[in-house]
Amino acid sequence: MMDMHCHLDLYPDPFEVAKQCDEKRLYVLSVTTTPKAWDGTNRLATGYKRIQTALGLHPQLAHQRANELELFDSLLPDAKYVGEIGLDGGKCYKEHWNIQLKVFRHIIKQVHNAGGRIMTIHSRACAGLLLDELEGIEGIPILHWFTGTKTELKRALAMGCWFSVGPAMMETKRGKELVSNIPKDRVLIETDGPFAKAKGLPIMPWEAGEVSHSLAEIWGTSSLEVDEILICNLKRLIANNESC
């Protein structure tokens, strides 16, 4: 199975978590929040071919870490995946909107010029504005924990976006409703651990599969069939990324 968006380096014992992910044969996309975190996070994947590291600069940190864009540029050639990147329209971060936008535009321009990458993207409270920025950009966007409107969802689908959904998202009625409108072949699963929690505890990467039960209910099929669809989606996504 898979976890297509987790902060592996931020678990209390990340090397042990990485080891368990490998033992459980999980495909993990380990995202970074700053370019300076790349080297340390990438070391967690050493020897584990199913753990991939994404190069990112989180929008909530853009106002503090914009000076790391030059480092981002230097690391991009070695990164097959980019994330966590994006924009955050939440009230706590609106005052930093201009610098967020500057950072995001710089990153996606670099990705475009590099021929595209799989990008795992944060779009809280600003999906429409974020999609405006992604128009014409080379690469494969995965909108992580998407919370936009149905209209924004339709637009994102038309643009070729994918969506990663996790246990926390599926706990809400609105989250389930959004997922029910996403085509099966655009769905991946994630945890957003250790930030996302279940029963007060951080969700572990191997718990992403718990979403299968909810997806089975939404899709009117078995959990086994859901797992087969998700694995097929992952293989197709990786194949598409190789062509970028």
pTM score: 0.96
Distances (CA, A) of 133 to 63, 113, 136: 19, 15, 8
Q: What's the CA gap between 76 and 174, in Å, rounded?
A: 36
CA distance to 86, 182, 191, per residue, from 152 (Å): 16, 12, 23
* All domains in the chain, ordered by first residue: 2-242 (3.20.20.140)
Measured CA to CA, the distance from residue 209 to residue 190 in angstroms comes to 8
Paired with 6 in beta bridges are 30
Is the pLDDT assigned to residue 244 strictly greater than 60? no
């020897």: which residue's tokens? Answer: 47
Above pLDDT 70, what percent of the chain?
99
pLDDT per residue as tens digits for the range 97-129: 999 999 999 999 999 999 999 999 999 999 999
Band (pLDDT 50/70/90 cuts) for residue 242 is low
Could you report the per-residue pLDDT of 154-191, keeping only the tens digit for each?
999 999 999 999 999 999 999 999 999 999 999 999 99
- What are the tokens at 76? 């991009």
Lowest mean pLDDT among 105-109, 146-150, 233-237, 240-244: 240-244
69, pLDDT greater than 80: yes
Centre a 10 Å sphere on the Cβ of residue 39 and count the other Cβ atoms it contains: 11
- What spatial distance separates the first Cα and last Cα of the chain, rounded to whole Å? 24
* Distance from C-alpha of 169 to C-alpha of 148, rounded to nearest angstrom: 12
pLDDT at 72 over 90: yes
